[in-house]
Chains A and B, each alone.
Chain A
């Protein structure tokens, strides 16, 4: 166990290093430069562009820039080129905005996918199952922004209430409960939209796991014993089918920082995804690279946790 952990950590650090190198190269080798260095601004003289390049270390060779950047990142000194704010502070702020979305979407996914998937598996082949299959594929196939616009149009036209942003603007001097509920309302649409694909995929996965388990001998035995089908399904089968899902908790980790660019742009939700997108547009390299780095770290930690959890819940596995 310990040796597995040790080996795995070393492996992950090496992987991380390559991720750092590759993402750095992708960004720096691409044509174009940060928008602060905008030569088509009549007010910019070539000398100024040169000075900006110097200030951003863009005139140094690549490997020196690489060292500078990651040295700053690890000491927490990286600043965004756009506004000179510390990158970590900016990411932290956005993370707090994305967090409620992530939480509500995750709860929606997990609470809805299970009943749908389980029931699908129990009545497999039936009308309900086929309907559920069809709808989960429908949700999976619909272009996110198209769906978002349809929903927004429906709601704004039918109810005349604001849905964009994190809260209703211009709402002052009202009770705490009301502002709270207002915020919840603004969470509903974006989180439902972020959850659609998740619900579709997870419910399919639950269904196939249930099917797998229902075919096992011990479930057949339980059924043969004459236990009520309810109990067979929900006690014997479901419990065992749940096993692999425990490991998925680890894999959810990267979702913390991977808010959907499209949904956040449409709902003008100031989350991480949008910040990343805007950073790409203005070529704010420190932000792009930091987000990339953090998400890679989260992916690696996530797989690590899920490996460990797998070992813990399934005694058959010894790595």
Chain B
């Protein structure tokens, strides 16, 4: 760890997927192997007790980062370092990070009672001794997320989407993690339920001192939750800064495009210009800066050389040739 204040340090992280056709097809068609660079040279730190958000459109690699951080994928290159856990750990491998998934309908075992779903990590890591203590802990967790201890006897299908997401959060908290990776935790929910879950997550952060890596495509939600924001485009972080600084002065043209295109209820822009273009396929990324085919300011340099990540004016980092010097 470079700094004791950091809960997570991610350094030059890359992940490459082999998406080649089967060997025989490749031999017949004389095609080379194909690789998809889902995440490239991603570097960030998350301070203890803070919330870092990764924002971007589908296919930008934000969920891959979440899976790398929680160990569901192995990194191709780079390092992921967690702060050493403060609390003592029981048997089994200590879990630094837990994850909350997007779809609460798919992430809970339909054949298990809610109480068993939440108790599994407690039993597995031996965090409580005896059935009674485990049961008491499950009841406490259910109360923490705003459900009733009686709900432990019911099955997931008896709950609504918002309640199921509360169960997912209770399960994530069961192994007493200090770090939660939240992959689009409210995208499958209605707005009024989304508000309930976001309020709950903020309250838990204050009460339990949790650190969040929050992944979302919704900038309004991110602004509400995050202390710091990283904007990703085609596997790379293009701009990173404190939330207020990023919203006040977006310096990468892609960040500006994102901010301009989100519909805002408070200030609808009904006569917006049509922003052209779509994100290119990560299988065949453009040369130079990946954003240059859509960028309104692109120059010759942008189509030839990929921009370095450098210090951003007003704090943070930015990867753009045309951004003002820090």
Tell me if chain B binds chain A.
no
A interface residues, Cβ below 8 angstroms from B? none
